Structure 1
């Protein structure tokens, strides 16, 4: 059946054909990335570490939202650990399921000693603390996981819509975080079937490339 955005101001339906195409593509791409060997995943994480180190300014005080890998996503723990070990002036945050606004995310500061809990999807996230919440517009960079992407900067997520709802403000905001998708090369497709609420990316980083839009 057609799918609708859960955001109050983005309620345009997509066709049943587009919905089914996105669902089938999501299933295919998730299976491909989960089929990668442990060694291939480690190499991908290390390669993306090098790409991010070259792409993002390392001597600037940036606040970067990242994620903890799940379901075959590129592992960014190499990048985070490397930044901590080198004492770089980078602050990290992780997404947390919003306790009040259903279907939205909060971003909480993430450090090596942060207390973690397991959310309903089985993913670790920082224990909720108002003191550690970083307003989304205050983030400099958001490194976003994705299921599929194309060369136009379109992103296919897991289907929950969390990032699209949370980042809907970026469609019209003058000041907004830089949105960077992180993916394996095999997650690229020629063209994604897009929906009206999809938030386009500013760049996509894979183990071999940096695509900027």
Structure 2
């Protein structure tokens, strides 16, 4: 097993070991961290996710977005483009179905898709990160492929990308692959690694 796979397995195990109470507390602390950031305050169209496999939960933040009149979107596996995502409007009334990974996503029949360049902010999950803002995902490359245009056009083009994590997912240093998309920053339940 290569070192990336070993690290991925180790960190996933740590975050899955968190109790429901620890997860709720972390989700509330994350919401407090995010609500202070200009990238969140200035955003009207925000892509979120529903947690899976111990990922930090965005539900408190999603509820805050709705209270503030911000529009939220969930990722949906693209039916044609391999390992890519669509973003579909998400509200309390959105009907969800489980995708091939058992992650709830909106039913897309007749639903409008938000062009990715029209999103202001994308909050994305990750497995591990370092203080320099490097991110390790689950390994499928969905976010990397979907936002690959930012590597070609520049990190400032399109939405800001913020990685979401528990602080326990931080490692000393991550190797960066050529296909890894640059993030604006990473926000945890304890700290913001922000400012790129």
Q: Same fold (TM over 0.5)?
A: yes
Scaled by the length of structure 1, the TM-score of the pair is 0.86
Whether the 8 Å CA contact 2:134–2:176 is kept in 1: the answer is yes
Q: Which structure 1 segments of 5+ residues have no match?
A: 1-18
**1:185 equivalent in alignment to 2:167:** yes
Give the aligned partner of residue 99 of structure 2. Answer: 119
Change (3 A) 1:36 1:61: closer
CA–CA separation in structure 2 for the residues paired with 1:73 and 1:171: 26
CA–CA separation in structure 2 for the residues paired with 1:82 and 1:152: 28
Give the aligned CA root-mean-square deviation in angstroms: 1.6
**1:90 equivalent in alignment to 2:70:** yes
Alpha-carbon distance, 1:59 to partner? 6.1
Q: Which structure 2 segments of 5+ residues have no match?
A: none
Alpha-carbon distance, 1:129 to partner? 3.5
Scaled by the length of structure 2, the TM-score of the pair is 0.93
CA–CA separation in structure 1 for the residues paired with 2:148 and 2:161: 12
Alpha-carbon distance, 1:89 to partner? 2.6
How many residue pairs match? The answer is 193
CA–CA separation in structure 1 for the residues paired with 2:43 and 2:71: 7
CA–CA separation in structure 2 for the residues paired with 1:178 and 1:35: 30
CA–CA separation in structure 2 for the residues paired with 1:140 and 1:165: 18
CA–CA separation in structure 2 for the residues paired with 1:60 and 1:186: 28
CA–CA separation in structure 1 for the residues paired with 2:167 and 2:41: 28
CA–CA separation in structure 1 for the residues paired with 2:191 and 2:80: 38
Larger radius of gyration between Structure 1 and Structure 2: 1
Change (3 A) 1:61 1:28: closer
Whether the 8 Å CA contact 1:60–1:89 is kept in 2: the answer is no
Change (3 A) 1:60 1:129: farther
**1:155 equivalent in alignment to 2:135:** yes
Give the aligned partner of residue 149 of structure 2. Answer: 169
Change (3 A) 1:210 1:34: same
CA–CA separation in structure 2 for the residues paired with 1:158 and 1:61: 26
CA–CA separation in structure 2 for the residues paired with 1:173 and 1:89: 30
CA–CA separation in structure 2 for the residues paired with 1:59 and 1:191: 30
